[in-house]
Amino acid sequence: MKALLMGFEPFGGEAVNPSWEVAQSLSFERFDRIQVISRRLPTVFGESIDQAIEAISTVQPDVVIALGQAGGRTGIGLERVALNIDDAAIADNNGNQPCDAPIMEGAPAAYFATLPIKVLVEEVQKAGIPAATSNSAGTFVCNHTMYGILHYINESRLPIRAGFIHLPYLPEQASSKKEAPSMSLAEMLTALRVVLTVLSRSS
């Protein structure tokens, strides 16, 4: 079995993005029967979906997990739903800043993740890592990409489980922000290893 793990390049003036730090750190690791293959996505509307779809087509994974940065969160957030809306408070890395724009014209208003979210949250918590189900992936490139991935899988009728996980700031990011919560890379890696191990056993 193969798991495609995708993270994003830094954005918003940050020097790093925890999503890519985690994804690249786990690249080619094995979790029971799952081998991880990692890809880096641009923090750019449109391009992130195109590159995610290209990666899915090339890798042909059994599981797809996209990771994203959610500064201000205190724990791992497993996203339940992606909305068909782009509404950016800041510009992406190409200067795009859509406002109240559909991601896909004429497509469903939302897609639900197909990962066992509640089970994953419980197992990550058992490992001592703060985690919760999230009902909002935002309206920036993270939600945009999650929606695009789920739409592609649904339209192509692919037997792939997919979802999105948000990560807090790394400590080096939070140190320059007043009272911003953070999580160590080691804790994030532990959480994702738990997620991948559970998925390898629930297939």
Q: Which residues are catalytic?
A: 79, 142, 166
Going by DSSP bridges, is the β-strand pair 76-79/161-167 parallel, antiparallel, or unpaired? antiparallel
d(CA 130, CA 10): 23
Tokens matching residue 27 = 């690249």
d(CA 71, CA 10): 12
Residues paired with residue 78 on neighbouring β-strands, in sequence order: 133, 165
- Look-up of token digits 């991601």: 103
Task: Note the residue count of the chain.
Answer: 203
